[in-house]
Structure 1
């Protein structure tokens, strides 16, 4: 079956391999297609499938489990009530999988075929997954569907493309002959590194987790998926689909396992330090990334944290367009994306624009007007903002507003369906360059700081300082000066941060396109890995040779 699947999906794989090299636009799963472009009956069926999981036992078996646990509450104001097997015996969970050797012997083509089939079936359940993502993270439906399903699938396909290319780079067999006449037949076999632990995040569990799952699985590793307690259902569905396809192909379903615990179980910490675990993937708070680096030395780590994302505002030839772009960057999922702007660095003497000289307050007012245009109608606003993922995000935003001048106040947007949903517009807080103790901290969303600097040179210096000390996932610059653009570009290269220059329209600094954009660089304090490049996949396997006389 897996050979048939490889043949069926090979044209898509070949296209993905080509796109990952050319970096031109490519999307196999409709990355830019909105949920409203699909037939209404498909959306309704997916919504019904999501709701069928609520207040029920999730049908999946987990070694080492006893009883069940239910930990999820929708940011839209209700308990999901889904009950999952609760892991109590980590030894049993991590016991060797009987079918591991058969999975290794399937080879790169066989494993890729199975994984490509899994992606197809996840895509078929896209609206069900989008519902689960929306009601665990708070993402608005468009982001949940287009970003956390379609784009996440494209990123997963990209992981398979890179993996297949790297695993097949070396010929599987060769006849070696020395000048003195000795002849050896040599065989080169890709072997897995070991058990892979994928620790889920709360906000973007699939976009972060799926590429890791498939990069490890296709390399022959057994994968343990340990979701964040607030976002289990999307990953439970994922594991269910993986096991379904593995079983159809004749492989051990234990190759992909769901591991769920209660918050107090600290299951992610117990698993991460086990000697059986040789690969750990996690994207989330910097504190746990540091914890992993200190204690999980037995494993290869692929980590990422938000960092401090800066936008250097020097000048612009389209003031209204710049403000619209920044407003959309802040409003998308209420700045809860790790790619959202954190600091807007603006000279206190103002910036030159097509509308004349603009002070920092004018910039704030321009963004406020743009936010008003974007979020004026509540029904439209809720589809941009989503809901705050946790009460901690709201508490952080309220505390931040008291630490400086509140340039743009946050307002609550009523949700017509979910009256308990905490939907808020982002807050913009004015600070001075001397307030580094405030704007250099990790942000958990809904807040942006407008930092007044002495001049653009100080703005660039602060960008360098923040990114080099704390890392950054994205950076931006607005300037009509080629010299300024060149200087900021050089700094971005020095600190290893992806840079966006003079963005206008609906392509914002948050936007990350599969097969073209690299997410993270692996050289910044905010990331030890890049999604996606060869370094993300190659450490997950090794090549072992055998040789004999011909």
Structure 2
């Protein structure tokens, strides 16, 4: 029933995958005119109704309860979740595996499309859940945690559907034999899911980063265990509840999706990851645990997004104010806690040419500082852009970073519980400290011999240490084309001369391939064919044709 209802959305999504143009079925504006006049208050009420009580997942395996989420805005959520042992989770997933693998593909895809439709209706609830587990300001939490995450999930479902239907599922093979009758073989192919999947979530973007892997695995018939970050459980728990409810209504095994909740004292991700029945792992987080997974979870395919050093190269500009304003927003947005946030800014030591005349290195650095000050001069607007700091360790990192270089702009707190505005430091050209990711609102401005050298340094760093985004400002078309080649070799997506309301931080579903998988910042791309195609195999049975 859900297949017929949602097929037009799937059809449009498939067209968008190929055209790579703007398209979305999930409006990103938190407007009552779109979602209903009472949607905002209803979402807040629904969120508050979950606080300080057990979160219910009907018929979910349960051994005990865990939950210790505290909002970066200062309030403990007080929610506990059903916690099960590794053995209980694996037994439940294995029990669901055969039935889930044998379900009609249309039934499975239709159910997931219905899940996304329901999640979209709950976007205000999800926005509040994301806000109070990650520290994102509400507008961003609504967009990134709701419609944009739903876009990425739908993208994965559509790509999975296309890959599963790329080839015929049956054929009659006929080989001529000259004067003899032709050889005729009847062939049939079945889709075989790879096995049980594990999705390991992150603290800052629990749905946006995890939905692609979760929905790609489910779409291709793999039972999926979701292990959220202990500080950001609620958004994924809400999604799992909706998935289980829809699966129950459609006769799919509800234990094809499971929540793995743990505590700081009793972590479970490492134990799940090395279980012999875990065949797929989607992971977003530090390179340290990513490396551990590569070393120890050898039985599973890994799809990772890890640390990287995103760069901006400023070679020249024909609109200095627009450039600095654009970069100021990119630096400040969610306090630099995005995998796409820029960190290293390379500027020729002798300065650059601009529409305002020649600017020295110091003037460019100060221009960036001034633009941040302009952007954040209103406390309410500043709080709406910067949000709160998700992890106290990020605040400690800002304090540590202050000692690394000459302060151009100091970080300051905002009138929210845990916050820090961007810190800008002038660094030496070859300072090795700038080759590591400093997650948070930390920006290094670094002199380079000249524009070409700056491009070479930034692109080489991406290739060596990893990067998800890179930005370039330049007026020399030949150099821009050379930079495009250099950054492509570095395996990083490049944005050139962004001004106005498009920012290097942004990644659009159905158009942008988020993370290339071609440098150490991640081995997987959201969402290309490789992201879904290896989650299932094809097995054939054949026999002589009878007619």
Scaled by the length of structure 2, what TM-score is found? 0.96
Superposition misfits of 4+ residues, deviation over 2 angstroms: 33-40, 61-65, 96-108, 180-184
The one-character-per-residue Cα deviations of 1:323-381 (angstroms, maximum 9, x if unpaired) are 00100101110111010101000111101000011112211221222222221111111
Once the two structures are overlaid, the 10-residue window that deviates more, 455-464 or 188-197, is 455-464
Aligned to 1:124: 121
SS in 2 for 1:280: strand
CA–CA separation in structure 2 for the residues paired with 1:99 and 1:347: 59
SS in 2 for 1:98: helix
The one-character-per-residue Cα deviations of 1:375-426 (angstroms, maximum 9, x if unpaired) are 11111111111001111111111111121011111121113xxxxx112211
Aligned to 1:176: 173
Aligned residues: 539
CA–CA separation in structure 1 for the residues paired with 2:287 and 2:355: 40
- Structure 1's 311 and 439: CA in aligned 2 closer, same or farther, altered over 3 A? same
CA–CA separation in structure 2 for the residues paired with 1:16 and 1:63: 32
The match for 1:463 among 443, 447, 458 is: 458
The answer (yes or no) to whether the contact 1:63–1:92 under 8 Å persists in 2 is: no
The match for 1:501 among 493, 496, 500 is: 496
Aligned to 1:418: none
The answer (yes or no) to whether the contact 2:332–2:386 under 8 Å persists in 1 is: yes
Q: Aligned runs of 1:164-243 on 2, under 5 Å? A: 164-180=161-177, 181-243=182-244
The one-character-per-residue Cα deviations of 1:119-165 (angstroms, maximum 9, x if unpaired) are 01111111111111111110111111112211110111110111100
- Structure 1's 402 and 40: CA in aligned 2 closer, same or farther, altered over 3 A? farther
Once the two structures are overlaid, the 10-residue window that deviates more, 52-61 or 516-525, is 52-61
CA–CA separation in structure 1 for the residues paired with 2:86 and 2:448: 52
Aligned to 1:539: 534
**How far off its partner does 1:62 sit?**
7.2
CA–CA separation in structure 2 for the residues paired with 1:543 and 1:475: 38
CA–CA separation in structure 1 for the residues paired with 2:136 and 2:377: 19
The one-character-per-residue Cα deviations of 1:213-266 (angstroms, maximum 9, x if unpaired) are 100001000000011100000011111000000000011110000010111222
The answer (yes or no) to whether the contact 2:199–2:210 under 8 Å persists in 1 is: yes
**How far off its partner does 1:65 sit?**
3.2
The one-character-per-residue Cα deviations of 1:517-543 (angstroms, maximum 9, x if unpaired) are 111111111110000100000010111
2:24 matches 1:27: yes
**How far off its partner does 1:178 sit?**
2.4
Aligned to 2:441: 446
Once the two structures are overlaid, the 10-residue window that deviates more, 476-485 or 362-371, is 362-371
CA–CA separation in structure 2 for the residues paired with 1:124 and 1:34: 11
The one-character-per-residue Cα deviations of 1:34-64 (angstroms, maximum 9, x if unpaired) are 4576555211110111111111001125766
Q: Aligned runs of 1:90-129 on 2, under 5 Å? A: 90-95=86-91, 96-129=93-126
Aligned to 1:352: 353
Aligned to 1:393: 394
- Structure 1's 271 and 11: CA in aligned 2 closer, same or farther, altered over 3 A? same
**How far off its partner does 1:298 sit?**
0.5
Q: Aligned runs of 1:397-412 on 2, under 5 Å? A: 397-412=398-413
The answer (yes or no) to whether the contact 1:412–1:424 under 8 Å persists in 2 is: yes
CA–CA separation in structure 1 for the residues paired with 2:171 and 2:100: 23
Please list every run of 5 or more consecutive structure 2 residues that lacks an aligned counterpart in the other structure: none
SS in 1 for 2:304: strand
The answer (yes or no) to whether the contact 1:62–1:257 under 8 Å persists in 2 is: no
The answer (yes or no) to whether the contact 1:72–1:232 under 8 Å persists in 2 is: yes
- Structure 1's 283 and 500: CA in aligned 2 closer, same or farther, altered over 3 A? same
Once the two structures are overlaid, the 10-residue window that deviates more, 391-400 or 176-185, is 176-185
2:10 matches 1:10: no
CA–CA separation in structure 2 for the residues paired with 1:198 and 1:527: 15
2:82 matches 1:85: yes
CA–CA separation in structure 2 for the residues paired with 1:86 and 1:249: 26
SS in 2 for 1:145: helix
**How far off its partner does 1:465 sit?**
2.9
2:260 matches 1:259: yes
Once the two structures are overlaid, the 10-residue window that deviates more, 34-43 or 221-230, is 34-43
CA–CA separation in structure 2 for the residues paired with 1:65 and 1:303: 29
- Structure 1's 34 and 49: CA in aligned 2 closer, same or farther, altered over 3 A? closer
**How far off its partner does 1:90 sit?**
1.1
Aligned to 1:422: 418
Once the two structures are overlaid, the 10-residue window that deviates more, 449-458 or 244-253, is 449-458
The answer (yes or no) to whether the contact 2:462–2:490 under 8 Å persists in 1 is: yes
Aligned to 1:364: 365
Aligned to 2:273: 272
The answer (yes or no) to whether the contact 1:340–1:509 under 8 Å persists in 2 is: yes
Once the two structures are overlaid, the 10-residue window that deviates more, 358-367 or 93-102, is 93-102
CA–CA separation in structure 2 for the residues paired with 1:103 and 1:399: 50
- Structure 1's 313 and 354: CA in aligned 2 closer, same or farther, altered over 3 A? same
CA–CA separation in structure 1 for the residues paired with 2:71 and 2:10: 36
**How far off its partner does 1:274 sit?**
0.7
**How far off its partner does 1:109 sit?**
1.7
The answer (yes or no) to whether the contact 1:12–1:28 under 8 Å persists in 2 is: yes
Q: Aligned runs of 1:373-388 on 2, under 5 Å? A: 373-388=374-389
Once the two structures are overlaid, the 10-residue window that deviates more, 242-251 or 304-313, is 304-313
Once the two structures are overlaid, the 10-residue window that deviates more, 76-85 or 37-46, is 37-46
Aligned to 1:434: 430
The answer (yes or no) to whether the contact 2:308–2:520 under 8 Å persists in 1 is: yes
The answer (yes or no) to whether the contact 1:348–1:455 under 8 Å persists in 2 is: yes
Once the two structures are overlaid, the 10-residue window that deviates more, 64-73 or 497-506, is 64-73
2:317 matches 1:316: yes
CA–CA separation in structure 2 for the residues paired with 1:362 and 1:546: 70
SS in 2 for 1:79: coil
Please list every run of 5 or more consecutive structure 1 residues that lacks an aligned counterpart in the other structure: 416-420
Once the two structures are overlaid, the 10-residue window that deviates more, 100-109 or 154-163, is 100-109
2:521 matches 1:521: no
